[in-house]
Amino acid sequence: MTGTHVKRAFRYRFYPTSAQAAELSRTFGCVRKVYNLALAARTEAWARQERVNYNATSAMLTEWKKTEELAFLKEVSSVPLQQCLRHLQAAFTNFFGKRAKYPRFKSKKKSRRSAEYTTSGFRFRDGRLTLAKMAEPLDIVWSRPLPEGASPSTVTVSQDAAGRWFVTLLCEDAAVQPLPAKGTAVGIDVGLDHLLTLSTGEKIANPRHERRDRVRLAKAQRALSRKAPGDGANRRKARQKVASIHARITDRRRDGLHKLTTRLVRENQTLVIEDLTVRNMVRNRSLARAISDAAWGEFRSLLEYKAAWYGREVVVVDRFFPSSKLCSHCGSLVKKLPLNVRTWTCENCGTAHDRDVNAARNLKAAGLAVSACGAGVRPQRRTPGGRSAAKQETLRREP
Q: Which of 191-200, 237-246, 351-360 has the lowest mean pLDDT?
A: 351-360
pTM of the shown model: 0.83
Give the mean model confidence (pLDDT) for residues 174-186.
86
pLDDT, position 209: 94
The more confident residue out of 194 and 1 is 194
pLDDT for res 354:
85
Q: How far is the C-alpha of 314 from the C-alpha of 312, rounded, in Å?
A: 7
CA pair distance 41, 64, nearest whole angstrom: 12
Q: What is the pLDDT, as a whole number, of residue 390?
A: 38
The whole-number average pLDDT for the span 64-84 is 96
Nearest to 188 by CA among 269, 265, 274, 257: 274
Cα separation of 144 and 21, whole Å? 24
Residue 398 has pLDDT above 60, yes or no: no
- Cα separation of 39 and 88, whole Å? 7
Q: Give the model's confidence band at 4: pLDDT under 50 very low, under 70 low, under 90 confident, else very high.
A: low
What is the per-residue pLDDT across 96-112, written as a single tens digit (0 to 9) for each?
A: 999 999 999 999 888 88
- CA 259/CA 264 separation, integer angstroms: 9
* Residue 176 or 122, more confident: 122
CB-CB contact of 378 with 386 (8 Å): no
3-state secondary structure of 25: helix
Name the residue with higher pLDDT: 255 or 7: 255
pLDDT (0 to 100) of residue 3: 54
The residues facing 4 across adjacent strands are: 176
Q: What is the pLDDT of residue 284?
A: 83
- Report, as residue numbers or ranges, the catalytic residues: 189, 274, 356
Percent of the chain's residues with pLDDT above 90: 65
- Averaged pLDDT for residues 7-19: 95
Q: Compute the CA torsion angle 45, 47, 48, 54 (nearest 10 deg).
A: 20
- The yes-or-no verdict on residue 187 having pLDDT over 80 is yes
User: Taking Cα atoms as reference points, which of 215, 216, 235, 214 lies closest to residue 226?
Assistant: 235
Average pLDDT, the chain: 88
